[in-house]
Structure 1
Amino acid sequence: MTDVYDETARREASPAELERLRAAVRVLPPAAVLTHHTAAMLYGFGVVPADTLHVTLPAGASLPQRRGIAAHGTVLPFVDVRDVLGLRCLGPARCAVDLARQLGRPDALAVLDAALRVGACTPDDLADEVTRHDGLRGVRQARELVRLADPRARCRQESHLRLVIHDGLLPAPEPQLAVRDDAGRVRCHVDLGYAEERVGVVYDGDSRLDQPRHNWLETRGWRLRYFTDDDLFGDPDLLVQTVRAALYHPR
């Protein structure tokens, strides 16, 4: 195991949190390994936080019943177990696919995007791992979302937004599309963009577009559509209609 995971864990977890994990592990069966949300946090792609400590035990082991600990059984062997600051964790691809099988689709895609973004996994790692889960509950969802996963997504909500657009049967936008000026310099990035149509889709809660850049894009013929959590979770159909109108309706 390379030191990169140790350094990531130090950034992602406070000393108090690491000590809490070590204390919890000491009272668990020796075969238990950290997994799901807990291991994802240590690897740097814990975009879906959980207060509960998640561990997995091999097939046949009795699952401990302890407050604050979610124990998972598995029929799959522990092919990849890594040591992160003295804590035994299932490999990052395994953790990402386990979460992709069990979370709702928007958060499942956000986890996969983040695992690729931080370099914990490669697309091939995820594809190989999802094949090992063939026949298990939720594997169809994981298989679909592994194909959609993209390391360019910058936040959880941006992944959600991209999935809404996908489910609305619209063309796939390019995440973090670079927009250049006449000299070829990158002036800004659009969260999700359609270069040919000059349409940008922006998550308003995490936008890096300030007013001057917004105005510059408008003068270049770009149409920007901003969305919030209320749009994502309250009326995704209207969100899709708004993007579709920007793409296909005449100015």
Structure 2
Amino acid sequence: MPADDEHLRALFLRLPAEAMLGRESAAQRLGFGVLRAHAIHVVVPPGVARPRIPGIVVHHEVLPIVEPVLVGGIPCVPAARCAVDLARTVRRLDALPVLDAVLRAGMCDIDDLLAEVVRHQGLRGVRQARELVPLADGRAECRQESQLRLVLIDGKLPPPEPQVWVADRYGVRLYRIDLGYRERRIGVEYDGGTHLDRDRLRHDRERSNWLAANGWIMRHFTDRDLYRRPGYIVDTMRAVLRP
């Protein structure tokens, strides 16, 4: 649950001096909060007693943190540490969106994430983080787009490129595709709720017609496909990508 600055400052007056925001709460504070936080997550060093405060989830931080990041006076776990903590503890489908988002926010780079994974060696879930960090891409623009990309990769299909610009014959960029295989002129789109807007629908129809007329093969998927039948996505794209 999001908390305003006043609420957080009041909370930290009740917490141990070493406490800092972590997990989903730190990610939101640091600008890459793609996962909903149902509580305020706080981390404390080992040996420090966990305070019992309603609505607060306290984690013992096994690895030392030399210096927290202050955002509006609130101490937070550094971005790379926070992203890897989440990448090894949330479900796989949510982990890649976190890694993509921290890169997109510019809070760290891929080398920072790789180094952080090494520091987490031996901790629960680090194998998942180690597998996903090399796949992270800051060009991804939303959680579902990252998840759709992961479904394709886990389905043993070639990794698609996020946010592919398509230009006209004069080199003028006209349209951008969520995911694409540029050389094959194959595009993949996630259709969320915004696509139901009438103006957006008109734009999408114009865009789809232009792409089809210029040799692009497009496939569109929804939340039902992504969360209930990922196998359908993989089978559909495998048929399109077949030589």
Q: In 2, distance between residues paired with 1:128 and 1:79?
A: 15
CA shift at 1:196, angstroms? 1.7
Unaligned runs of 5+ in 1: 1-12
1:134 aligned onto 2:128:
no
1:155 aligned onto 2:142:
yes
Q: In 1, distance between residues paired with 2:209 and 2:185?
A: 14
SS at match of 1:40: helix
Instruction: Quote the RMSD (CA, aligned, Å).
Output: 1.4
1:246 is matched with which residue?
Answer: 240
1:230 is matched with which residue?
Answer: 224
Aligned residue pairs, count = 235
- CA deviation string 1:195-238 (max 9, x = no partner): 12111100011668622111100001111111111001111111
Q: In 2, distance between residues paired with 1:80 and 1:233?
A: 38
Identity %: 54
Question: Which letter maps to 2:84?
Answer: V
Question: Which letter maps to 2:51?
Answer: P
Unaligned runs of 5+ in 2: none
Which of 23, 27, 35 is residue 48 of structure 1 equivalent to?
35
Higher deviation after alignment, 205-214 or 74-83: 205-214
SS at match of 2:131: helix
Question: Which letter maps to 1:75?
Answer: V
1:105 is matched with which residue?
Answer: 92
1:35 aligned onto 2:16:
no
Question: Which letter maps to 1:70?
Answer: V
SS at match of 1:210: helix
2:154 is matched with which residue?
Answer: 167
Q: In 2, distance between residues paired with 1:51 and 1:27?
A: 20
CA shift at 1:158, angstroms? 0.2
TM-score (norm. length: structure 2): 0.93
1:10 is matched with which residue?
Answer: none
- CA deviation string 1:10-41 (max 9, x = no partner): xxx7xx62212112111111111111111110
CA shift at 1:51, angstroms? 2.8
- Match runs of 1:65-84 below 5 Å: 65-84=52-71
SS at match of 1:200: strand
1:6 is matched with which residue?
Answer: none
- CA deviation string 1:59-109 (max 9, x = no partner): 111111221000000221113311111101111111111011111111111
1:181 aligned onto 2:148:
no
| 4+ residue runs over 2 A deviation | 206-209
2:83 is matched with which residue?
Answer: 96
1:193 is matched with which residue?
Answer: 180
Question: Which letter maps to 1:61?
Answer: V
